[in-house]
Chains A and B, each alone.
Chain A
Amino acid sequence: MSTRKPGQPSEKMHTDSTGGKPHSGLNREIQTKIGQQLRAMYDDVVQEGVPDRFADLLRRIDNPADEGKTE
């Protein structure tokens, strides 16, 4: 499982022994916040929907006759 490259600093941390120790409550709380922040950041982009350029792109490919028309 350890495929550390020679140049990389050792990142043993607290998960190096058999399967890792159970996370402390504090660690769990931080992980929950990281998960929330990650999804919030991601969903912020997802909520922008499909920009026109991509809908147009698929339409143009679907109907080459529309080529040149921008709407």
Chain B
Amino acid sequence: MKIDPGLRDQILATVPSLRAFAISLCGNVDRADDLVQETLLRALANIHSFQPGTNLSAWLFTILRNLFRSEYRKRKREVEDTDGSFAESLKSYPEQVGRVEFQEFRAALAQLPAEQREALILVGASGFSYEEAADICECAVGTIKSRVNRARSRLAKLLAIDNVDDFGPDHATRAVLIGHDN
């Protein structure tokens, strides 16, 4: 099949960000790359349904997210999996999740519910607006905002307690943080 060269270049330009999103979602580079490949194949097979001039990157992210969710649901049925055991698997195979300096952050991220994780990444890292993220996740803008807020609060708690030196200047800070939610 012939792909419009401009469109092909745009799709390729989105690949690095799609990978970053996929790795953040599944915590495993190989699985993430397979997910990106599936996304590209799915996108090209349905390229006629893409409206030129609309947001290509949001369209690709939507496809990737849907593929991830259906795969995730399948795996969940196969092995009774939870976000907690997913986090455990990350700890067992730290070499799969990229550079050492981000391992702790990724591990904390993996402890968030999937919906909060994706919302936070789309808005906080991929640079989508709340409205675009809501379209990608097929939910209301207010839902995205609340998921992002909950994700941030939860991460603050996880990281502040686990890694006081990086996230708080001293023990007094830690006491404040720990006491904050009690």
Contact = CB atoms under 8 A, between A and B. Distances in A.
Contacts of A31: 152, 156
B16 A44 contact: no
Contacts, number: 108
Nearest to B20: A45
Contacts of B106: 41
B124 interface: yes
Given A38-B124, A54-B37, A46 B20 contact: yes
Contact of A15 (B33, B40, B153): B153
A28 to B, nearest CB: 10
B139 to A, nearest CB: 10
Contact of B20 (A14, A42, A51): A42
A20 B29 CA distance: 37
A6 interface: no
A39 B124 contact: yes
Interface residues of A, number: 37
A57 B24 CA distance: 23
Contact of B11 (A27, A49, A58): A58
Interface string A1-30: 101000000010111000010000011001
Given A1-B142, A30-B160, A38 B125 contact: yes
Contact of B8 (A15, A30, A41, A62): A62
Contacts of B105: 37-38, 41
Interface residues of B, number: 51
Contacts of A53: 33, 37
A45 B24 CA distance: 10
Interface string B163-182: 00011100001001100110
Given A30-B159, A45-B23, A46-B20, 18 more contacts: A1-B143, A15-B149, A20-B149, A26-B177, A30-B160, A30-B168, A33-B167, A34-B159, A38-B121, A41-B125, A43-B125, A46-B16, A49-B16, A50-B15, A51-B19, A54-B37, A57-B37, A58-B11
22 contacts: A1-B143, A14-B153, A15-B149, A26-B177, A31-B152, A33-B166, A34-B155, A38-B124, A38-B125, A39-B124, A41-B98, A41-B125, A42-B24, A43-B20, A43-B125, A45-B23, A46-B19, A58-B11, A61-B3, A61-B44, A62-B2, A62-B8
